[in-house]
C-alpha cells in the first residue's frame, strides 16, 4: 500500500512530467474512485486547467491547478501514475486519464479500486475535514510538536504511528520499519513511553521517511540493516540474525525482532 515514501515518488514523477500543460479533457473509466464528487463536476473543474505543482499530505497527493483548486489523489492499496503519449494505449486499471494539449496524457492507475480522487477547493480545509494531521515530513512538525501530538494517546505505539490524524503518511510497513529502528516493540503501549522514547521515535521517524522518500519507497533500494523487504519468517533480523516474529497489531500484520525491540512490558 502506498505510504508517504511511495507518494513522495509519485510527487516527483508528476513534477517531472505533467506540469504546465493545459488539460484538454479527462476520462473517468470507473466512477467508484470518485470521492463525494460527480463525474461532471470533476471533468468541469479539470478542463482547461494546468497543473502548477504537486504537494503531499501524508498518503494524499495534490496536483495544484492554476485555478487555485487541487486534484487530490489517494492511491489506496495499490496505485501509480503513468505519463505517456496520448496515442499509446491506456495502462490496465487506468481509472482517470488527463489529456494534455502537449499530446501527452497522465493516467491514474488503481488496481484494486480502493484509490480515491476529487477536486478540492482548498487542501487545508479538506485536510481539516478529514482530520488529517500534518505530513510526517512537514518542515513545521518539530520534535516538540510531534511529542505534543503523541502524548496522552491510548493503545499501542504502532497504532498511534498509523493514526493519520496524529501524523499523516505512515502505514503498516513504515510503522514496522520505524519501530524496528527505534528499538520499540509495536505492541508497546503509548502510556509507557516517556519523553526520551518519543524524542527518539521522532528522530528515527524523520530519518526513515526522509531516506525512504529518496528511493521512492522501493524496498529493493532500502539500505542494509533495514527491515523493509525482509518481512517474512524466512528472513532473519538484518541486525542480529534472530528469527523475526509477526502478529496482529492494530488490525495489521506487524513484523518485529524479539531481540532488538524492547518487549511491551519492559
Q: Which of 45, 49, 56, 59 is catalytic?
A: 59
How far is residue 226's CA from residue 184's CA, in Å, rounded to a whole number? 14
How far is residue 52's CA from residue 181's CA, in Å, rounded to a whole number? 37
Q: Which of residues 194-253 bind Zn ion (CB under 5 A)?
A: 237, 239-240, 242
Provide, rounded to whole angstroms, the least separation between the CB of residue 234 and Zn ion.
Answer: 15
How far is residue 6's CA from residue 118's CA, in Å, rounded to a whole number? 20
Interface residue with Zn ion, options 46, 63, 132, 260 (CB under 5 A)? 260
**Does residue 41 interact with Zn ion by CB under 5 A?**
no
How far is residue 58's CA from residue 254's CA, in Å, rounded to a whole number? 20
Provide, rounded to whole angstroms, the least separation between the CB of residue 182 and Zn ion.
Answer: 13
Q: What is the DSSP string of 86-123?
A: TTSPPPTTEEEEEEETTSEEEEEEETTS--EEEEES-H
Residue 216 vs 230, nearer CB to Zn ion: 230
Interface residue with Zn ion, options 31, 32, 259, 263 (CB under 5 A)? 259
Provide, rounded to whole angstroms, the least separation between the CB of residue 222 and Zn ion.
Answer: 16
Is 59 part of the annotated catalytic residue set? yes
How far is residue 101's CA from residue 264's CA, in Å, rounded to a whole number? 57
Residue 210 vs 239, nearer CB to Zn ion: 239
Is 189 part of the annotated catalytic residue set? no
Provide, rounded to whole angstroms, the least separation between the CB of residue 175 and Zn ion.
Answer: 17
How far is residue 18's CA from residue 65's CA, in Å, rounded to a whole number? 11
- Site residues for Zn ion per CB under 5 A: 237, 239-240, 242, 257, 259-260
Active-site residue list: 2-3, 59, 252
Amino acid at each position: 500500500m502506498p505510504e508517504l515514501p511511495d507518494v513522495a515518488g509519485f510527487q516527483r514523477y508528476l513534477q517531472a512530467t505533467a506540469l504546465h500543460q493545459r488539460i484538454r479533457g479527462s476520462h473517468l473509466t470507473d466512477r467508484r474512485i470518485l470521492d463525494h464528487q460527480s463525474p461532471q463536476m470533476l471533468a468541469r473543474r479539470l478542463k482547461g486547467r494546468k497543473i502548477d505543482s504537486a504537494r503531499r499530505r501524508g498518503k494524499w497527493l495534490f496536483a495544484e491547478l492554476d485555478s487555485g483548486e487541487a486534484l487530490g489523489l489517494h492511491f489506496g492499496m495499490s496505485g501509480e501514475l503513468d505519463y505517456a503519449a496520448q496515442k499509446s494505449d491506456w495502462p490496465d486499471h487506468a481509472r482517470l486519464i488527463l489529456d494534455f494539449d502537449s499530446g501527452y496524457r497522465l493516467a491514474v492507475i488503481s488496481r484494486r479500486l480502493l484509490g480515491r480522487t476529487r477536486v478540492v477547493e482548498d487542501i487545508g480545509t479538506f485536510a481539516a475535514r478529514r482530520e488529517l494531521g500534518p505530513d510526517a515530513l512537514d518542515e513545521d512538525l518539530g520534535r516538540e510538536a510531534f511529542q505534543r501530538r503523541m502524548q496522552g494517546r491510548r493503545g499501542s505505539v504502532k497504532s498511534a504511528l498509523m493514526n493519520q490524524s496524529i501524523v499523516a503518511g505512515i502505514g503498516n510497513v513504515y510503522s514496522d520499519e520505524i519501530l524496528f529502528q527505534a528499538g520499540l516493540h509495536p505492541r508497546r503501549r503509548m502510556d509507557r513511553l516517556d519523553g526520551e522514547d518519543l524524542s527518539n521515535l521522532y528522530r528515527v521517524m524523520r530519518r526513515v521517511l526522509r531516506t525512504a522518500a529518496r528511493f521512492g519507497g522501493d524496498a529493493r533500494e532500502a539500505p542494509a540493516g533495514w527491515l523493509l523487504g525482509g518481512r517474512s519468517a524466512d528472513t532473519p533480523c538484518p541486525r542480529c540474525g534472530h528469527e523475526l516474529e509477526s502478529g496482529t497489531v492494530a488490525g495489521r500484520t506487524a513484523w518485529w525482532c524479539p531481540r532488538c525491540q524492547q518487549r511491551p512490558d519492559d
